[in-house]
Every structure is written in structure tokens, then in C-alpha cells.
Amino acid sequence: MTTIPVSWYLIVSALLFTIGTIGVLVRRNPLIIFMSIELMLNAVNLAFVTLSSYLDSADGQVFVFLVLTVAAAEVVVGLAIIVSIFRTRRNIDVDEMNLLRG
Amino acid sequence: MSFTYIASAADWARIAPELVLAGVALLVLLVDLLLPQTGSVPRERGAANFFVLPFLALLGVLGALAATIVLFVVGDGQRAFFGLVGSDWGSLYAYLAILSAAGLGIIFSPAYLKRLKLVHQGEYYALFLTAALGMMLLAAATSFMTLFLGLETLSLALYILCGFVTRRQGSQEAGMKYFLLSSFASAFLLYGVALIYGATGTTRFGARETNAFPGVLQFLQAHPQSTALLLIGIGLLTVGFAFKVSAIPFQMWTPDVYEGAPAPVTAFMSVGTKAAALVAFARVFVVVLAPVAADWQAVVWALAVLTMVGGNLLALVQRNAKRLLAYSSVAHAGYLLIGVVVGGATGLAAILFYLLCYAFLNAGAFGALSALERLDNSGCDREDLRGLWFRRPWLAGFLAFFLLGLAGFPPMAGFAAKYYLFFAALQGGHPELLLIGVLTSVLGMYYYLRLIAAMFMEPAREAQAESLEVTPALAVASAGTAGAGASVAPRVSGPLGRAASTRSGGAGSGVAGAAVAVKAAPQTATRRAPAPATGEQLAEEEGLPGHSFAWTTWLGLGLAALGALALGTVLPFWLVDLALKAAAML
């Protein structure tokens, strides 16, 4: 069995990160934008795990746990904000959010 | 790989300020549940909440401040938990700025919350303290893990605080925008960290003077040639940090969030986030990435110049005072980035001292605006500030004081801060940054002075002034109860009455105010006829019944002014010396 080289993992991670970035920039629904950000964070996790195994160091894996925990906390706060906006506006499109500008 | 967990008591002592804040944040939540209900007033609206909770939170901040000072005196300045958190003087110096801002923000809060009828105070103060805790962790971080943890702790707390005024769409919008853009930037920062980890094999920073816990610094000293992985990592890290310190072109969230967030929160976050993120920025780039300085210096130079020029130019066209201050804070981030470009002990010391001065000036300015802001986020436009001197001279005086300080006029802290920063630029061999900094500061004076001129020299427009000054009394009059009028009177005539109502006007006594209201009522009422809800809405803006806590605003303004004056006149020599020693330990 041949092992998959490290660079492939990193390329997949970079691809995921790019897809996430494009998602944030293109999509207009905050929920989808939020999912794209989660995708970016998971790309980071993949990179950390890969590098941790490659470097034989535990730092990367510990970092992944931190990122997972923080991402979960962000989901809570983010969805709460989105729900609170939906309650007053019945619309959560980010293009409609233009009260503050100038 | 096998691990053992060893944490000594000395490690815990080194993070004492953070521990105090974390403990008090939990205590505030608990006390919020235990406060007794008085009479028929719902528990969360009781007067005790408006006094006990901020008092407790303030005690927490003071406790953390005391712990910081104790660490200054008796601490060993070593890193805690195997090089994860610093307790060096540089971190402690940043704590001073962060805790000053947190304390001032808390002092400004009760009057604001009371006036806007925001009653969920347990969460408010707990989140306030948690955000301060995150900022301190970020400023003290000596590992990318702690840095990330601190960054997210402060961000998560601030997302909620920004959207705290749930009845105001602007506040919700601010929370949402801050949340989406900030997590986007965090992802960039994190990817940069991952790549740097890949290039160097560690997430620890590593200390300059000891090799006890080797980190990125030691690796780079051994292998100063930069790989592609490292370069991309530094690039992404720069994007993440530039967003957090709101450097142009990553500043787009700043004005929106600062405008929409409750003013006391803005007073706190505009200073605290900036202080923490800049100290972390300086530590990562100037200290840790020093061996590859040639790779990032040009980028940060460009960021600094863009931010100084762009921030000041964009502030010129703002009509809202909160947005204007937001862009001015962008410009100040530009000045601070000079310190990062210059580097060395002088550059870092200049940053630390500037942040401390900025804490008092900016928190004071936003605190003055917090007395003007209304529930629908109006009240801070330049039109509203016109002739403020004639209506509320003390408030106008304080606001002018802080604006002059931010502009950099000598007796206040702003001048000393700018002086040391520009001095560092000259000494560090960057005269072009000194030149750009001075020229853009002159540009900056224009918009500060124009705001002051609007307050002091232009009379408020007649119709607007009338409707503005009469409406609180009008709301009462239209309610048709003489008793309510009597309840307004002592508030207006009290020595602090000017802050009690949003626009108390020049009424010398409550009786005169009521008389004006009655006289003006028919005319104004016809004008407002199409909107029957207006009276009710205005009555709501009067805030919750009972004590208005306006004196807290004055206390905060006084403290901020005192601090700004002291930093500008008596203390700078001593504090800059301290900053120089602190910067050497970062």
C-alpha cells in the first residue's frame, strides 16, 4: 500500500479553504455564509492534522480541538444573532442590511 | 508521544489578573440571579440591578488592576504554562490600557442602560468582563494557541454586546456584520497559523532571552531563509491581524459596528480590541518574526501609510459623530502601525504608551456620546450636536476636551503619545513615516475641530431645537397627568439633571420647562399628528422610572479626563520609561 503524500492533503485543504472563501464572498444568505466560514475552519483543521502527523508533533492536534470548540461556540452566538434579526425583519439577506453605511 | 500535565502555583499566580476577571464574571451572573425583587417592579428592572451589578463588575476590574500592579512589582515576568502565556511587563502594560477602557465602559453603562431600558444586565456585565479577559489573553499570548483562544473569547463576547440593543435594527445589524466579517478574518488568521506551524514545526512563540521553551523564534533564528509555506502563512496572518486592528483595506466593518453598537460598548471595544490586537500584532511581527523582517516590513509599511491617509480622508466626509470617531480610530491604528514598522524597543514602547493614552481619550469621547445616543441610534449626527454648548455645556466641554486630545493638542495625552510615536519613527530610520504621520494628523485636526465648531459656534436650527428640547416634557404633557410633570421637575432641576434627560434644554427649573411644553404643545402636536405613536415612543425613551444614574456618566467622563490630562502632563516621562523596559521584555 502506498501512502498518500502530505502535499495532497494540503492541496485538498487549500481547495476547501478557497471554496469557503468564494462562498463567503458570493452567497447572500448569512446561514450559507456561515456554513462557508465553517468550511474554511475545517480546511484549517485538515491542514493542522496533516502537518501534525507529518511533523510528529502534538501541537497541531491540540489546536484542532481548540478550533472545533470555538467553532461550536461561534455557531451558538451566530445563529442567535441571525434568529434575533429574523424576528424583527422577517428577512436575513445580507444585502438588505444597509442601515449603517456612509 | 506521552504527556504529563504539570502546572505549578507560580503559573496560576502569573495569570492572576485573568483569573480575577473570570471569577468576577461568573459571580456577576450568579448575583444577577440572587438579587431580591422589590415590590411590583420585575426583578431584572429593579434599582438594585442598576447599582449592584456594575459595582461588582467594576470591583472585578479594579481587582484585576490591583493584581496587575502586584505582578509589576513582585512578578518574575516569566511565562506561564510552558511558554503559553506571558506575564512580562509588556503584557502587564497592555492590561493597564485594556482594564482602564473596561472600567470606563462599565462606568458609562448604568445611565445608558437605564435610559434605553436595557434590562438583561447580568449578561451584559458578564460579557463585558469576558471580553476584557479575552483581550488580556490576546495581549499576553506567547503561543498561537493562546492567541487564537484570546481572540475568539473577546470576539464572541463582543458579537453579543454589539447586538445587545435587540429593539434597534442598527444594533442587530452591527452584531451580524461584526460576527460574519470577524469570523471570516479569524479563518484567514488561523490558516496562516497552520501554515507557519507547518513551516516551523511549533505553535509556541519562543522567548528572546531564554531557550527554555523553543518556538517559532528559535526556529527562524536557526533557519532564517523563508520558505513558500512560511511566506503564505505570514501573508494570511497579516490579513487576519490587519482586520482585527482595522487597518485599511480591511476596515469596512469598523464604522458600521462602532455606529450600531451601544455607545458604552463602543467606548470599550474601540480601545480594548485595538490595544490587544496591536500588542499581539507587534509581538508576533516585531519579536517572533524578526529574523524574516525583510519579508513583511514593506507590507506593514504600506498598510500603515494607507491606514493613516485613508482613515483621515474618510473621516472628513462623515456626518455622524460615532462614524467619524470610528474612522478616526482607523487613522489611529495607522499611527500605531508606525510602531510595528519601526520595531525595536522604541517602536514597541511608543505603541504601548500610545495605547494607554488612547484608552482614556477614545473611551471618554464615546462615553460623552453615550449620553446623547437615543434608542433608535439617532442623536449623534452633526446636526444633533449643533449648539450643544448652549444646551448642555458640560457635556459639550468634555466632548471637545477629548476630541482635542485625539487631535493631538498639547496639554492632553494625545500630544505626548503622538510625540513619542513620531520620535520613534525618526529614530528608527523612517522619516517618511514621520512626515506622513504629521501631515495626516494636521488633516485629522480639520474634522475634529469642525465638530467642535459645530457644538460651540453654530446655534441649533430653530425648529429642530424647539422640537428637540420640548418633546420630553411634551410627552408628559400629552399624557395629561400633572403628577408625571412633577416627577420630571426634580430631575431637570437637579444638579445633574442635564444628563438625566436626553435633551434637557436650557430650562433652569422644571416649572419653566413644563411651561414651555404647554406653550409649544399645540404647534408641535399638529406637526406630529400623523404619527400617533410618537408620544408613546418618546415616553419610552425617557427610560425606566426611578433614579437615572446620570452621575455615573459624569464620573466616567471626569475620570477619563483626569487620566488623559495626567498622561499628557505629569506621567509621560515615568510611563515612557516603564514602556521602554516593558517593550524589552515583550
Largest CA distance in chain B: 84
Q: Is B384 helix (H, G, I), strand (E, B) or coil?
A: helix
Do residue B152 and residue A73 have CB atoms under 8 angstroms apart?
yes
Residues in B closer than 8 angstroms to A30, CB to CB, are 176, 180
Q: What is the distance between the alpha carbons of residues A52 and A61, in angstroms, rounded to a whole number?
A: 6
pLDDT reported for residue B482: 36
CA of B201 vs chain A CAs: smallest distance (Å): 6
Residue B148, helix vs strand vs coil: helix
Instruction: Look at A60 and B3 and tell me if their CB atoms are within 8 Å.
Output: no
pLDDT of residue A98: 75
DSSP B461: P
Give me the pLDDT at residue B521, please.
39
**The C-alpha cell that represents B247 in the structure block:** 487597518
In this complex, do B198 and A51 lie within 8 Å of one another by their Cβ atoms? yes
Residues of A within 8 A of B147 (CB-CB) are none
- Residue closest to B367 by CA, chosen among B409, B321, B411: B321
Each residue of B171-222: pLDDT tens digit?
888 999 999 999 999 999 999 999 999 999 999 998 887 777 888 999 999 9
Contacts of B184 in chain A (CB under 8 A): 24, 37, 40
Q: Are B142 and B85 in contact (CB under 8 A)?
A: yes
Grid coordinates representing B374?
Answer: 437615543
CA B79/CA B572 separation, integer angstroms: 28
> Looking at the predicted structure, is the pLDDT value of residue B125 above 70?
yes
> Pick from A35, A7, A31: which is nearest to A94 by CA?
A31
> Rounded to whole angstroms, what are the CA distances from B74 to B68, B69, B212, B556?
10, 9, 22, 30
**3-class SS letters over B229-256:** HHHHHHHHHHHHHHHHCCCCCCCCHHHH
Residue with cell 479563518: B187
Q: How far is CA B29 from the centre of its chain?
A: 23
Residues of A whose CB is below 8 A from B179: 74, 77-78, 81
Distance CA B4, CA B143 (A): 19
Q: What is the pLDDT of residue B214?
A: 86
B403, three cell numbers: 476630541
Q: Where are the alpha helices (DSSP H) in B291-412?
A: 293-316, 321-342, 344-370, 382-385, 388-391, 393-407
Give yes or no for residue B291 having a pLDDT over 60: yes
Tell me what pLDDT residue B488 has: 39
- DSSP three-state, residue B377: coil
Q: Give the B-side interface with A, CB within 8 Å.
A: 1, 3, 144-145, 148-149, 152, 156, 159-160, 163, 166-167, 169-170, 172-177, 179-180, 183-184, 187, 190-191, 193-195, 197-198, 201-204, 255-256, 259-260, 318-320, 323
Q: Is A23 on the interface with B (CB under 8 A)?
A: no
User: What are the domain boundaries of chain B?
Assistant: 9-459+548-584
Residue of A45, A81, A96 to mutate when probing chain B, most B C-beta within 10 A: A81
Give mean pLDDT, residues B53-61. Answer: 94
pLDDT of residue B508: 36
Q: Is B511 exposed, middle or buried (0-12, 13-18, 19+ CB in 10 A)?
A: middle
Give the single-character DSSP code of B84. T
Task: Give the other-Cβ count within 10 Å of B488's Cβ.
Answer: 24
Task: For A16-40, write each residue's pLDDT tens digit.
Answer: 999 999 999 999 899 999 999 999 9
Q: What is the SS3 assignment for B381?
A: strand
Chain A: give the shortest CA distance to residue B198, in Å. 6
Q: Copy the grid coordinates of residue B529.
A: 399628528
Highest mean pLDDT among B259-263, B458-462, B529-533, B564-568: B259-263
Task: Give the ipTM.
Answer: 0.95
**What percentage of chain B carries pLDDT values higher than 70?**
83
Cα–Cα dist B78/B85, whole Å: 9
Could you tell me how many residues make up chain A?
Answer: 102
DSSP B78: P
Three-state helix/strand/coil letters over B209-231: CCCCCCCHHHHHHHCCCCCHHHH
* Crossing angle (nearest 10°) for helices A59-89 and B144-162: 10
Q: Does residue B46 register a pLDDT over 90?
A: no
Lowest mean pLDDT segment, chosen from B56-70, B210-224, B322-336, B523-537:
B523-537
Q: Is the dihedral of CA B343, B346, B352, B355 positive or negative?
A: negative
Higher pLDDT, B542 or B283: B283
Question: What are the chain B neighbours of A62 within 8 Å (beta carbons)?
Answer: 145
In this complex, do A99 and B144 lie within 8 Å of one another by their Cβ atoms?
no
Whether A40 and chain B come into contact, CB under 8 Å, resolves to yes
User: Given pLDDT bands bounded at 50, 70 and 90, which one contains residue B527?
Assistant: very low
Evaluate whether B164 touches B121 at the Cβ level (below 8 Å): no
Q: How far is CA B424 from the centre of its chain?
A: 25
Q: Which residue of B has its CA nearest to A30?
A: B180
Cross-chain Cβ contact B176/A66 below 8 Å: no
pLDDT at residue B570 in the model? 82
Query: Which residue type is seen at B495?
Result: P
Given a contact cutoff of 8 angstroms between Cβ atoms, the answer to whether B234 and B295 are in contact is yes
Residue A20 CB-half CA count within 13 A = 24
Each residue's pLDDT tens digit, A48-79: 999 999 999 888 999 999 999 999 999 999 99
Chain A residues whose beta carbon lies within 8 Å of the beta carbon of residue B148: 63, 66-67, 70
